[in-house]
Chains A and B, each alone.
Chain A
Protein backbone atom coordinates (compact mmCIF):
# COMPACT_ATOMS: atom_id res chain seq x y z
CA UNK A 1 0.00 0.00 0.00
CA UNK A 2 1.17 3.59 -0.69
CA UNK A 3 2.53 5.96 1.90
CA UNK A 4 0.31 9.02 2.40
CA UNK A 5 2.43 10.80 5.00
CA UNK A 6 6.15 10.51 5.55
CA UNK A 7 8.25 12.28 8.18
CA UNK A 8 12.00 11.83 8.36
CA UNK A 9 14.02 13.18 11.28
CA UNK A 10 11.71 16.14 11.94
CA UNK A 11 13.00 18.59 14.54
CA UNK A 12 11.22 21.77 15.61
CA UNK A 13 12.71 24.07 18.19
CA UNK A 14 11.18 27.16 19.80
CA UNK A 15 13.70 29.40 21.53
CA UNK A 16 16.03 26.49 22.11
CA UNK A 17 13.25 24.16 23.33
CA UNK A 18 12.71 21.04 21.20
CA UNK A 19 8.97 20.64 20.67
CA UNK A 20 9.56 17.82 18.15
CA UNK A 21 12.75 15.82 18.49
CA UNK A 22 13.96 13.72 15.55
CA UNK A 23 10.52 12.35 14.74
CA UNK A 24 10.10 9.87 11.88
CA UNK A 25 6.90 8.26 10.71
CA UNK A 26 5.18 6.70 7.70
CA UNK A 27 1.40 6.54 7.45
CA UNK A 28 -0.20 4.26 4.88
CA UNK A 29 -2.89 5.53 2.53
CA UNK A 30 -6.50 4.85 3.45
CA UNK A 31 -5.89 4.28 7.16
CA UNK A 32 -6.91 6.21 10.26
CA UNK A 33 -3.79 7.11 12.18
CA UNK A 34 -3.95 8.37 15.75
CA UNK A 35 -1.29 10.49 17.43
CA UNK A 36 -1.67 10.56 21.20
CA UNK A 37 0.25 12.39 23.86
CA UNK A 38 -0.20 14.67 26.85
CA UNK A 39 -0.39 18.46 26.53
CA UNK A 40 2.84 19.84 25.09
CA UNK A 41 3.93 16.47 23.69
CA UNK A 42 4.36 17.97 20.22
CA UNK A 43 1.22 16.66 18.48
CA UNK A 44 -0.12 20.00 17.29
CA UNK A 45 3.36 21.12 16.22
CA UNK A 46 3.60 18.02 14.02
CA UNK A 47 0.16 18.68 12.49
CA UNK A 48 1.11 22.31 11.85
CA UNK A 49 4.27 21.16 10.08
CA UNK A 50 2.38 18.62 7.97
CA UNK A 51 -0.28 21.17 7.01
CA UNK A 52 2.44 23.65 5.91
CA UNK A 53 1.65 26.14 8.70
CA UNK A 54 5.06 25.72 10.34
CA UNK A 55 8.54 25.18 8.94
CA UNK A 56 10.47 22.39 10.63
CA UNK A 57 13.88 23.32 12.00
CA UNK A 58 15.30 20.17 10.37
CA UNK A 59 14.11 17.04 8.58
CA UNK A 60 11.80 16.35 5.68
CA UNK A 61 8.07 15.84 5.54
CA UNK A 62 6.02 14.63 2.59
CA UNK A 63 2.28 14.39 2.05
CA UNK A 64 1.16 12.21 -0.86
CA UNK A 65 4.73 12.44 -2.15
CA UNK A 66 4.89 16.26 -2.08
CA UNK A 67 7.50 17.97 0.06
CA UNK A 68 5.81 20.33 2.53
CA UNK A 69 8.39 23.06 1.90
CA UNK A 70 9.15 22.74 -1.81
CA UNK A 71 5.56 21.97 -2.89
CA UNK A 72 3.48 23.55 -0.14
CA UNK A 73 0.70 24.59 -2.50
CA UNK A 74 0.38 21.08 -3.94
CA UNK A 75 0.20 19.70 -0.40
CA UNK A 76 -2.53 22.18 0.54
CA UNK A 77 -4.52 21.19 -2.54
CA UNK A 78 -4.65 17.60 -1.26
CA UNK A 79 -5.32 18.09 2.43
CA UNK A 80 -8.28 19.00 4.59
CA UNK A 81 -7.64 20.43 8.04
CA UNK A 82 -9.86 20.47 11.11
CA UNK A 83 -7.97 22.57 13.67
CA UNK A 84 -8.31 22.45 17.44
CA UNK A 85 -10.25 25.71 17.50
CA UNK A 86 -13.31 26.37 15.38
CA UNK A 87 -11.89 28.96 13.01
CA UNK A 88 -15.17 29.70 11.27
CA UNK A 89 -15.86 33.17 9.91
CA UNK A 90 -18.59 34.53 12.18
CA UNK A 91 -19.49 37.29 9.72
CA UNK A 92 -20.43 34.75 7.05
CA UNK A 93 -23.31 32.27 7.17
CA UNK A 94 -22.56 28.56 7.35
CA UNK A 95 -23.06 28.17 3.61
CA UNK A 96 -20.95 31.25 2.84
CA UNK A 97 -18.15 29.76 4.94
CA UNK A 98 -18.26 26.65 2.79
CA UNK A 99 -18.44 28.62 -0.46
CA UNK A 100 -15.43 30.74 0.58
CA UNK A 101 -13.40 27.58 1.20
CA UNK A 102 -14.48 26.08 -2.14
CA UNK A 103 -13.46 29.25 -4.00
CA UNK A 104 -10.07 29.24 -2.29
CA UNK A 105 -9.63 25.80 -3.83
CA UNK A 106 -10.56 27.17 -7.24
CA UNK A 107 -13.79 25.16 -7.50
CA UNK A 108 -16.54 26.43 -9.79
CA UNK A 109 -20.07 27.08 -8.49
CA UNK A 110 -21.43 24.21 -10.59
CA UNK A 111 -19.08 21.84 -8.80
CA UNK A 112 -19.16 23.14 -5.25
CA UNK A 113 -22.88 23.86 -4.83
CA UNK A 114 -24.07 20.23 -5.18
CA UNK A 115 -21.18 19.08 -2.99
CA UNK A 116 -22.09 21.62 -0.28
CA UNK A 117 -25.75 20.58 -0.47
CA UNK A 118 -24.76 16.93 -0.08
CA UNK A 119 -22.46 17.56 2.90
CA UNK A 120 -24.93 19.84 4.68
CA UNK A 121 -27.67 17.24 4.23
CA UNK A 122 -25.41 14.43 5.43
CA UNK A 123 -24.48 16.25 8.62
CA UNK A 124 -27.96 17.56 9.40
CA UNK A 125 -27.02 21.22 8.91
CA UNK A 126 -29.01 21.89 5.74
CA UNK A 127 -31.88 23.57 7.62
CA UNK A 128 -29.50 26.02 9.32
CA UNK A 129 -27.19 26.74 6.38
CA UNK A 130 -28.16 30.42 6.16
CA UNK A 131 -27.55 31.07 9.86
CA UNK A 132 -24.34 32.49 11.28
CA UNK A 133 -22.01 30.06 13.09
CA UNK A 134 -22.31 32.00 16.35
CA UNK A 135 -25.92 30.79 16.60
CA UNK A 136 -24.82 27.13 16.34
CA UNK A 137 -24.16 24.75 19.23
CA UNK A 138 -20.58 23.56 19.75
CA UNK A 139 -21.36 20.23 18.08
CA UNK A 140 -22.91 21.90 15.03
CA UNK A 141 -19.93 24.25 14.67
CA UNK A 142 -17.59 21.25 14.85
CA UNK A 143 -19.55 19.43 12.15
CA UNK A 144 -19.42 22.54 10.00
CA UNK A 145 -15.63 22.74 10.38
CA UNK A 146 -15.35 19.05 9.44
CA UNK A 147 -17.45 19.38 6.28
CA UNK A 148 -15.60 22.56 5.32
CA UNK A 149 -12.42 20.48 5.29
CA UNK A 150 -14.10 17.94 2.99
CA UNK A 151 -15.60 20.15 0.27
CA UNK A 152 -12.66 19.72 -2.08
CA UNK A 153 -12.46 15.94 -1.55
CA UNK A 154 -9.04 15.89 0.16
CA UNK A 155 -6.84 12.81 0.01
CA UNK A 156 -5.54 13.36 3.53
CA UNK A 157 -7.65 14.74 6.37
CA UNK A 158 -5.95 16.17 9.47
CA UNK A 159 -8.13 16.26 12.58
CA UNK A 160 -6.57 18.03 15.56
CA UNK A 161 -8.58 17.03 18.62
CA UNK A 162 -11.84 17.04 16.65
CA UNK A 163 -14.21 16.28 19.52
CA UNK A 164 -12.72 18.33 22.35
CA UNK A 165 -15.46 20.11 24.26
CA UNK A 166 -18.35 18.20 22.68
CA UNK A 167 -21.11 16.38 24.53
CA UNK A 168 -21.22 12.56 24.20
CA UNK A 169 -23.92 12.63 21.52
CA UNK A 170 -22.02 15.14 19.38
CA UNK A 171 -18.80 13.15 19.84
CA UNK A 172 -20.56 10.01 18.63
CA UNK A 173 -21.96 11.91 15.64
CA UNK A 174 -18.47 13.11 14.67
CA UNK A 175 -17.06 9.58 15.17
CA UNK A 176 -19.77 8.07 13.01
CA UNK A 177 -19.01 10.54 10.28
CA UNK A 178 -15.25 9.91 10.49
CA UNK A 179 -15.95 6.17 10.21
CA UNK A 180 -17.77 6.76 6.92
CA UNK A 181 -14.65 8.43 5.50
CA UNK A 182 -12.37 5.52 6.43
CA UNK A 183 -11.92 3.96 3.01
CA UNK A 184 -11.99 7.20 1.01
CA UNK A 185 -9.03 9.07 2.48
CA UNK A 186 -6.14 8.90 4.91
CA UNK A 187 -7.03 10.38 8.28
CA UNK A 188 -4.42 11.77 10.68
CA UNK A 189 -6.00 12.31 14.08
CA UNK A 190 -4.72 13.73 17.34
CA UNK A 191 -6.84 13.32 20.45
CA UNK A 192 -6.82 13.35 24.22
CA UNK A 193 -9.69 10.88 24.31
CA UNK A 194 -8.25 7.39 24.40
CA UNK A 195 -11.61 5.75 23.73
CA UNK A 196 -11.76 7.85 20.57
CA UNK A 197 -8.40 6.53 19.39
CA UNK A 198 -9.40 3.01 20.45
CA UNK A 199 -12.63 3.20 18.44
CA UNK A 200 -11.39 4.95 15.33
CA UNK A 201 -7.69 4.32 14.71
CA UNK A 202 -6.05 1.54 12.76
CA UNK A 203 -2.69 2.54 14.14
CA UNK A 204 -1.63 4.61 17.12
CA UNK A 205 1.59 6.37 18.07
CA UNK A 206 1.96 7.71 21.61
CA UNK A 207 4.43 10.56 21.80
CA UNK A 208 5.87 12.67 24.60
CA UNK A 209 8.55 15.35 24.78
CA UNK A 210 8.62 15.44 20.97
CA UNK A 211 9.49 11.77 20.55
CA UNK A 212 7.49 8.67 19.60
CA UNK A 213 7.26 6.24 22.50
CA UNK A 214 5.24 3.35 21.06
CA UNK A 215 3.69 2.48 17.74
CA UNK A 216 1.05 -0.14 16.90
CA UNK A 217 -2.63 -0.94 16.73
CA UNK A 218 -4.71 -0.46 19.85
CA UNK A 219 -4.75 -4.22 20.42
CA UNK A 220 -0.99 -4.52 19.93
CA UNK A 221 -0.29 -1.72 22.38
CA UNK A 222 -2.58 -3.22 25.01
CA UNK A 223 -1.01 -6.65 24.56
CA UNK A 224 2.47 -5.23 24.79
CA UNK A 225 1.59 -3.68 28.13
CA UNK A 226 -0.48 -6.62 29.44
CA UNK A 227 2.23 -7.73 31.83
CA UNK A 228 0.82 -6.24 34.93
CA UNK A 229 -1.42 -9.20 35.91
CA UNK A 230 -4.25 -7.24 37.36
CA UNK A 231 -7.26 -9.07 38.72
CA UNK A 232 -10.65 -8.06 40.02
CA UNK A 233 -11.69 -10.21 42.93
CA UNK A 234 -15.21 -10.05 44.45
CA UNK A 235 -16.18 -11.74 47.72
CA UNK A 236 -19.59 -12.79 49.03
CA UNK A 237 -18.66 -12.33 52.71
CA UNK A 238 -15.80 -11.82 55.18
CA UNK A 239 -14.18 -9.04 53.14
CA UNK A 240 -12.25 -7.68 56.16
CA UNK A 241 -10.57 -11.01 56.80
CA UNK A 242 -9.73 -11.44 53.13
CA UNK A 243 -8.25 -7.96 52.98
CA UNK A 244 -5.85 -8.84 55.80
CA UNK A 245 -4.91 -12.07 54.07
CA UNK A 246 -4.31 -10.34 50.74
CA UNK A 247 -2.20 -7.62 52.31
CA UNK A 248 -0.01 -10.25 53.95
CA UNK A 249 0.79 -12.02 50.68
CA UNK A 250 4.27 -11.03 49.45
CA UNK A 251 3.44 -11.52 45.76
CA UNK A 252 0.50 -9.04 45.82
CA UNK A 253 2.08 -5.83 44.59
CA UNK A 254 -0.87 -3.44 44.73
CA UNK A 255 -4.23 -3.73 46.40
CA UNK A 256 -7.25 -1.42 46.19
CA UNK A 257 -10.57 -2.17 47.83
CA UNK A 258 -14.00 -0.84 47.01
CA UNK A 259 -16.59 -2.58 49.20
CA UNK A 260 -16.52 -6.25 48.34
CA UNK A 261 -14.44 -5.71 45.20
CA UNK A 262 -10.65 -5.90 45.32
CA UNK A 263 -8.38 -4.79 42.52
CA UNK A 264 -4.96 -6.40 42.89
CA UNK A 265 -1.79 -6.75 40.92
CA UNK A 266 0.38 -9.86 41.17
CA UNK A 267 4.14 -9.78 40.85
CA UNK A 268 4.04 -12.60 38.26
CA UNK A 269 1.38 -14.53 36.43
CA UNK A 270 2.42 -17.79 38.16
CA UNK A 271 1.27 -16.44 41.54
CA UNK A 272 -2.38 -16.91 40.60
CA UNK A 273 -2.45 -20.45 41.99
CA UNK A 274 -0.78 -19.50 45.32
CA UNK A 275 -3.31 -16.66 45.55
CA UNK A 276 -6.25 -19.01 45.11
CA UNK A 277 -4.71 -21.43 47.62
CA UNK A 278 -4.39 -18.63 50.17
CA UNK A 279 -7.91 -17.27 49.97
CA UNK A 280 -9.77 -20.56 49.45
CA UNK A 281 -12.97 -20.85 47.45
CA UNK A 282 -16.39 -20.62 49.17
CA UNK A 283 -16.55 -16.80 49.63
CA UNK A 284 -15.28 -15.87 46.18
CA UNK A 285 -18.07 -14.53 43.98
CA UNK A 286 -15.87 -13.89 40.95
CA UNK A 287 -12.28 -13.41 39.85
CA UNK A 288 -11.38 -11.96 36.48
CA UNK A 289 -8.29 -10.76 34.68
CA UNK A 290 -8.41 -7.00 34.11
CA UNK A 291 -7.31 -6.27 30.56
CA UNK A 292 -5.21 -3.09 30.28
CA UNK A 293 -6.98 -0.22 28.56
CA UNK A 294 -5.35 2.20 26.17
CA UNK A 295 -5.46 4.66 29.05
CA UNK A 296 -3.34 2.30 31.18
CA UNK A 297 -0.81 2.14 28.36
CA UNK A 298 -0.87 5.92 28.00
CA UNK A 299 -0.42 6.58 31.73
CA UNK A 300 2.33 3.98 32.02
CA UNK A 301 4.25 5.64 29.21
CA UNK A 302 3.67 9.30 29.95
CA UNK A 303 3.24 9.26 33.74
CA UNK A 304 0.50 10.49 36.05
CA UNK A 305 1.84 13.97 36.62
CA UNK A 306 -0.41 16.75 35.30
CA UNK A 307 1.29 18.80 32.58
CA UNK A 308 1.18 22.58 32.41
Chain B
Protein backbone atom coordinates (compact mmCIF):
# COMPACT_ATOMS: atom_id res chain seq x y z
CA UNK B 1 0.00 0.00 0.00
CA UNK B 2 1.21 3.47 -1.00
CA UNK B 3 4.27 1.86 -2.62
CA UNK B 4 3.90 4.31 -5.49
CA UNK B 5 3.59 7.32 -3.18
CA UNK B 6 6.70 6.26 -1.28
CA UNK B 7 8.61 5.74 -4.54
CA UNK B 8 7.64 9.20 -5.84
CA UNK B 9 8.52 10.79 -2.51
CA UNK B 10 11.89 8.96 -2.57
CA UNK B 11 12.54 10.31 -6.07
CA UNK B 12 11.81 13.88 -4.97
CA UNK B 13 14.01 13.59 -1.89
CA UNK B 14 16.86 12.18 -4.02
CA UNK B 15 16.59 15.20 -6.33
CA UNK B 16 16.45 17.58 -3.33
CA UNK B 17 19.55 15.94 -1.83
CA UNK B 18 21.48 16.65 -5.05
CA UNK B 19 20.89 20.38 -4.80
CA UNK B 20 20.40 20.71 -1.06
CA UNK B 21 22.99 23.40 -0.44
CA UNK B 22 21.84 25.77 -3.20
CA UNK B 23 18.17 25.13 -2.33
CA UNK B 24 18.72 25.93 1.34
CA UNK B 25 20.85 28.96 0.57
CA UNK B 26 18.09 30.37 -1.64
CA UNK B 27 15.32 29.57 0.81
CA UNK B 28 17.13 30.91 3.87
CA UNK B 29 18.16 34.19 2.23
CA UNK B 30 14.65 35.70 2.01
CA UNK B 31 13.38 35.22 5.60
CA UNK B 32 16.77 36.09 7.06
CA UNK B 33 16.79 39.30 5.02
CA UNK B 34 13.30 40.11 6.32
CA UNK B 35 14.41 39.29 9.85
CA UNK B 36 17.46 41.56 9.60
CA UNK B 37 15.50 44.36 7.91
CA UNK B 38 12.52 44.34 10.29
CA UNK B 39 13.76 42.60 13.42
CA UNK B 40 17.10 44.38 13.60
CA UNK B 41 16.47 47.47 11.47
CA UNK B 42 13.27 48.47 13.28
CA UNK B 43 14.46 47.42 16.71
CA UNK B 44 15.16 51.00 17.68
CA UNK B 45 11.64 52.08 16.69
CA UNK B 46 9.58 49.13 17.88
CA UNK B 47 10.73 47.93 21.25
CA UNK B 48 8.16 45.25 21.83
CA UNK B 49 4.69 44.01 20.82
CA UNK B 50 2.39 43.07 23.69
CA UNK B 51 5.47 42.78 25.90
CA UNK B 52 7.42 40.59 23.43
CA UNK B 53 10.63 41.94 21.83
CA UNK B 54 9.91 42.71 18.17
CA UNK B 55 12.62 40.38 16.84
CA UNK B 56 11.15 37.56 18.90
CA UNK B 57 7.60 38.50 17.80
CA UNK B 58 8.32 38.08 14.07
CA UNK B 59 10.63 35.03 14.28
CA UNK B 60 7.90 32.31 14.52
CA UNK B 61 5.99 33.83 11.60
CA UNK B 62 9.10 33.97 9.41
CA UNK B 63 9.81 30.31 10.08
CA UNK B 64 6.19 29.35 9.36
CA UNK B 65 6.20 31.53 6.24
CA UNK B 66 9.31 29.75 4.95
CA UNK B 67 7.75 26.35 5.56
CA UNK B 68 4.39 27.04 3.91
CA UNK B 69 5.91 29.00 1.00
CA UNK B 70 8.38 26.21 0.30
CA UNK B 71 5.58 23.64 0.49
CA UNK B 72 3.47 25.64 -1.97
CA UNK B 73 6.36 26.33 -4.36
CA UNK B 74 7.61 22.78 -4.43
CA UNK B 75 4.17 21.26 -4.96
CA UNK B 76 2.94 23.76 -7.53
CA UNK B 77 6.07 23.90 -9.67
CA UNK B 78 6.87 20.23 -9.35
CA UNK B 79 3.38 19.15 -10.36
CA UNK B 80 3.30 21.64 -13.24
CA UNK B 81 6.77 20.64 -14.45
CA UNK B 82 6.05 16.91 -14.28
CA UNK B 83 2.69 17.35 -15.98
CA UNK B 84 3.46 19.94 -18.65
CA UNK B 85 7.20 19.78 -19.33
CA UNK B 86 8.61 16.34 -18.55
CA UNK B 87 5.29 14.49 -18.92
CA UNK B 88 6.50 12.17 -16.18
CA UNK B 89 3.02 12.14 -14.64
CA UNK B 90 1.97 10.09 -17.68
CA UNK B 91 4.86 7.72 -17.11
CA UNK B 92 3.75 7.29 -13.49
CA UNK B 93 0.19 6.62 -14.65
CA UNK B 94 1.06 3.69 -16.92
CA UNK B 95 2.58 1.91 -13.93
CA UNK B 96 0.54 -0.25 -11.55
CA UNK B 97 0.05 2.51 -8.99
CA UNK B 98 -3.07 4.52 -8.27
CA UNK B 99 -3.81 8.18 -8.86
CA UNK B 100 -3.83 8.49 -5.04
CA UNK B 101 -0.22 7.27 -4.93
CA UNK B 102 0.84 10.07 -7.28
CA UNK B 103 -1.04 12.85 -5.51
CA UNK B 104 -0.07 11.68 -2.01
CA UNK B 105 3.58 11.27 -3.07
CA UNK B 106 3.63 14.79 -4.46
CA UNK B 107 1.85 16.32 -1.45
CA UNK B 108 4.15 14.58 1.02
CA UNK B 109 7.17 15.75 -1.00
CA UNK B 110 5.96 19.36 -0.82
CA UNK B 111 5.26 18.99 2.86
CA UNK B 112 8.70 17.43 3.49
CA UNK B 113 10.48 20.22 1.65
CA UNK B 114 8.47 22.83 3.57
CA UNK B 115 9.25 21.20 6.89
CA UNK B 116 12.98 20.79 6.12
CA UNK B 117 13.35 24.38 4.95
CA UNK B 118 11.33 25.74 7.88
CA UNK B 119 13.51 23.85 10.33
CA UNK B 120 16.69 25.15 8.67
CA UNK B 121 15.44 28.75 8.84
CA UNK B 122 14.48 28.18 12.48
CA UNK B 123 18.01 26.92 13.16
CA UNK B 124 19.56 29.98 11.54
CA UNK B 125 17.28 32.40 13.41
CA UNK B 126 18.00 30.67 16.70
CA UNK B 127 21.73 30.88 15.93
CA UNK B 128 21.47 34.60 15.20
CA UNK B 129 19.30 35.50 18.19
CA UNK B 130 19.42 34.95 21.94
CA UNK B 131 15.80 33.69 22.01
CA UNK B 132 15.31 30.20 23.43
CA UNK B 133 12.10 28.26 23.95
CA UNK B 134 11.12 25.26 26.05
CA UNK B 135 11.10 21.96 24.13
CA UNK B 136 7.38 21.48 24.76
CA UNK B 137 6.69 24.82 23.05
CA UNK B 138 8.67 23.65 20.04
CA UNK B 139 6.54 20.50 19.83
CA UNK B 140 3.34 22.56 19.90
CA UNK B 141 4.83 24.87 17.28
CA UNK B 142 5.65 21.85 15.09
CA UNK B 143 1.93 21.01 15.02
CA UNK B 144 1.20 24.23 13.10
CA UNK B 145 4.24 23.81 10.82
CA UNK B 146 3.06 20.30 9.88
CA UNK B 147 -0.57 21.19 9.17
CA UNK B 148 0.37 24.50 7.53
CA UNK B 149 2.88 22.83 5.20
CA UNK B 150 0.38 20.09 4.46
CA UNK B 151 -2.36 22.59 3.56
CA UNK B 152 -0.09 24.72 1.37
CA UNK B 153 1.39 21.65 -0.27
CA UNK B 154 -2.15 20.61 -1.24
CA UNK B 155 -2.99 24.12 -2.48
CA UNK B 156 0.24 24.12 -4.52
CA UNK B 157 -0.63 20.72 -5.96
CA UNK B 158 -4.04 22.02 -7.01
CA UNK B 159 -2.41 24.98 -8.77
CA UNK B 160 0.14 22.74 -10.50
CA UNK B 161 -2.69 20.46 -11.61
CA UNK B 162 -5.06 23.02 -13.09
CA UNK B 163 -2.77 25.83 -14.24
CA UNK B 164 -1.29 25.31 -17.69
CA UNK B 165 0.71 28.54 -18.11
CA UNK B 166 3.62 28.94 -15.68
CA UNK B 167 3.15 32.70 -15.35
CA UNK B 168 -0.28 32.02 -13.85
CA UNK B 169 1.31 30.14 -10.95
CA UNK B 170 3.35 33.29 -10.24
CA UNK B 171 0.17 35.36 -10.41
CA UNK B 172 -1.60 33.10 -7.92
CA UNK B 173 1.38 33.44 -5.59
CA UNK B 174 1.32 37.22 -5.93
CA UNK B 175 -2.42 37.74 -5.67
CA UNK B 176 -3.49 34.99 -3.25
CA UNK B 177 -0.64 33.39 -1.33
CA UNK B 178 1.51 36.43 -0.46
CA UNK B 179 -1.45 38.59 0.73
CA UNK B 180 -2.79 35.67 2.77
CA UNK B 181 0.60 35.32 4.44
CA UNK B 182 1.28 39.00 5.04
CA UNK B 183 -2.25 39.90 6.23
CA UNK B 184 -2.18 37.24 8.90
CA UNK B 185 0.00 39.25 11.26
CA UNK B 186 3.57 38.12 10.69
CA UNK B 187 4.93 41.64 11.24
CA UNK B 188 2.21 43.24 13.36
CA UNK B 189 -0.23 42.21 16.08
CA UNK B 190 -3.73 41.21 14.96
CA UNK B 191 -5.07 43.73 17.47
CA UNK B 192 -4.08 46.42 14.92
CA UNK B 193 -7.06 45.43 12.80
CA UNK B 194 -10.43 47.15 13.31
CA UNK B 195 -12.72 44.91 15.31
CA UNK B 196 -15.05 44.14 12.36
CA UNK B 197 -12.13 43.05 10.18
CA UNK B 198 -10.42 41.10 12.93
CA UNK B 199 -13.22 38.53 13.21
CA UNK B 200 -12.80 37.78 9.48
CA UNK B 201 -8.99 37.74 9.60
CA UNK B 202 -9.09 35.27 12.49
CA UNK B 203 -10.92 32.81 10.22
CA UNK B 204 -8.18 32.84 7.57
CA UNK B 205 -6.19 29.60 7.54
CA UNK B 206 -2.94 31.56 7.39
CA UNK B 207 -3.91 33.45 10.55
CA UNK B 208 -4.55 30.14 12.28
CA UNK B 209 -1.19 28.81 11.12
CA UNK B 210 0.91 31.91 11.89
CA UNK B 211 -0.84 33.27 14.97
CA UNK B 212 -1.42 29.77 16.34
CA UNK B 213 2.27 28.97 15.79
CA UNK B 214 3.34 32.19 17.52
CA UNK B 215 1.15 31.53 20.55
CA UNK B 216 2.44 27.97 20.71
CA UNK B 217 6.10 28.93 20.49
CA UNK B 218 6.17 32.04 22.61
CA UNK B 219 3.57 31.22 25.25
CA UNK B 220 3.08 27.48 24.99
CA UNK B 221 -0.64 28.00 24.31
CA UNK B 222 -2.54 25.70 21.92
CA UNK B 223 -5.49 27.83 20.82
CA UNK B 224 -8.36 25.44 20.05
CA UNK B 225 -9.88 27.57 17.28
CA UNK B 226 -6.55 27.95 15.50
CA UNK B 227 -5.78 24.23 15.87
CA UNK B 228 -9.20 23.32 14.47
CA UNK B 229 -8.87 25.72 11.50
CA UNK B 230 -5.35 24.43 10.69
CA UNK B 231 -6.48 20.78 10.74
CA UNK B 232 -9.72 21.53 8.88
CA UNK B 233 -7.87 23.52 6.17
CA UNK B 234 -5.33 20.74 5.67
CA UNK B 235 -8.10 18.12 5.45
CA UNK B 236 -10.25 20.11 3.00
CA UNK B 237 -7.21 21.07 0.89
CA UNK B 238 -6.14 17.42 0.74
CA UNK B 239 -9.61 16.22 -0.32
CA UNK B 240 -9.85 19.00 -2.91
CA UNK B 241 -6.35 18.31 -4.29
CA UNK B 242 -7.09 14.59 -4.71
CA UNK B 243 -10.47 15.28 -6.32
CA UNK B 244 -9.14 17.91 -8.73
CA UNK B 245 -6.12 15.81 -9.70
CA UNK B 246 -8.32 12.78 -10.27
CA UNK B 247 -10.75 14.70 -12.46
CA UNK B 248 -8.07 16.50 -14.45
CA UNK B 249 -5.87 13.47 -15.05
CA UNK B 250 -8.57 10.90 -15.71
CA UNK B 251 -10.00 13.15 -18.43
Contacts and interface: CB of A to CB of B under 8 A. Distances in A.
A101 B94 CA distance: 10
Given A92-B14, A104-B4, A106-B3, A52 B93 contact: yes
A89 interface: yes
A188 B8 CA distance: 28
Interface in A25-79: 51-55, 73-74, 76-77, 79
A104 B14 CA distance: 16
A87 B96 contact: no
A24 B240 CA distance: 37
B93 A53 contact: yes
A92 B11 contact: yes
Interface in B1-50: 3-4, 7, 10-11, 14-15, 18
A52 B7 contact: no
A60 to B, nearest CB: 17
B225 interface: no
A73 B96 contact: yes
A16 to B, nearest CB: 15
Interface stretch (B82-90, B114-122, B215-223): B82-90
11 contacts: A52-B93, A53-B93, A53-B94, A55-B250, A87-B87, A87-B90, A89-B91, A101-B91, A103-B3, A103-B10, A104-B96
- Interface of B, secondary structure class, is helix
A100 interface: yes
A83 B7 contact: no
A238 to B, nearest CB: 61
B217 to A, nearest CB: 35
Contact of A76 (B7, B11, B14, B94): B94
B232 to A, nearest CB: 32
B95 A105 contact: yes
Contacts of B18: 91
Contact of B96 (A51, A77, A83, A91): A77
A138 to B, nearest CB: 16
Interface centre among A79, A90, A91, A96 (most CB of B within 10 A): A91
B95 A101 contact: yes
Contacts of A92: 11, 14-15
Nearest to B19: A91
A100 B94 CA distance: 13
A52 B94 contact: yes
B7 A104 contact: yes
A105 B94 CA distance: 10
Contacts of B7: 100, 103-104
Nearest to B16: A91
A91 B87 contact: no
Nearest to A100: B11
B15 A79 contact: no
A53 B93 CA distance: 7
A54 B250 CA distance: 6
Contacts of B178: none
A93 to B, nearest CB: 10
User: What 3 A-B pairs come out closest when comparing CB atoms?
Assistant: A104-B95, A87-B87, A77-B96
A101 B3 CA distance: 12
Interface string B61-90: 000000000000000000000000011101
Given A92-B15, A96-B14, A104-B7, A51 B86 contact: no
B90 A104 contact: no
Please indicate which of the listed interface residues B3, B14, B96 has the most CB atoms of chain A within 10 Å of its own CB: B96
A88 interface: yes
Contacts of B182: none
A32 to B, nearest CB: 20
A100 B13 CA distance: 13
Task: Among B3, B93, B95, B250, find the residue whose CB has the most chain A CB atoms closer than 10 A.
Answer: B95
A283 interface: no
A89 B88 contact: yes
Nearest to B97: A104
